[in-house]
């Protein structure tokens, strides 16, 4: 039974996504040019979750969204980033900006890469 995936993927070659889903043991049948997956049968709940995780790694908006979420989790708000930018550009004091940049570098090192 075919079960198309409704999420289009734009940052991955279809062959790459196919190989990744297949490597996870999923019954993948095909990937179209938009990155939508079709499976040989209906996926179990666990397989659906696994497929979503693999596919999400290729979401072009994931890294930006995740970076913002993680910055908020460690207490670096958008307001704090704007104030640090102001201080660096206008006041010539880049201490806060450097601290935020170190935090961003640490977070980015943990983030998955969304393209191949």
H helix intervals, the chain:
14-23, 45-56, 62-73, 78-89, 95-110
Q: Per-residue pLDDT averaged across 73-83, rounded?
A: 93
Domain membership of residue 78 (yes or no) is yes
More confident residue, 114 or 62: 62
Domain membership of residue 9 (yes or no) is no
In the structure, what pLDDT confidence band is assigned to residue 116 with cuts at 50, 70 and 90?
Answer: very low
Domain membership of residue 38 (yes or no) is yes
Q: Are residues 47 and 81 located together in one domain of the fold? A: no
What is the Cα Rg of the chain in Å? Answer: 19
Domain membership of residue 31 (yes or no) is yes
Q: Per-residue pLDDT averaged across 58-79, rounded?
A: 78
Average per-residue pLDDT for the chain: 81
Q: Are residues 82 and 44 located together in one domain of the fold? A: no
Domain count, the chain: 2
Q: Per-residue pLDDT averaged across 5-9, rounded?
A: 46
Residue 114 has pLDDT above 50, yes or no: no
Domain membership of residue 83 (yes or no) is yes
């Amino acid at each position: 039974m075919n079960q198309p995936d409704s999420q289009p993927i734009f940052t991955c070659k279809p062959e790459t996504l196919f190989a990744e889903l297949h490597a996870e043991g999923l019954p993948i049948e095909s990937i179209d040019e938009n990155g939508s997956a079709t499976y040989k049968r209906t996926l179990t709940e666990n397989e659906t979750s696994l497929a979503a995780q693999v596919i999400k790694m290729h979401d072009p908006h994931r890294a930006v969204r995740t970076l913002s979420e993680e910055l908020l989790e460690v207490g670096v708000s958008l307001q704090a980033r704007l104030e640090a930018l102001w201080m660096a550009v206008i006041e010539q004091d880049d201490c806060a900006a450097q601290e935020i940049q170190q935090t961003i570098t640490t977070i980015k090192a943990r983030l998955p890469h969304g393209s191949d």
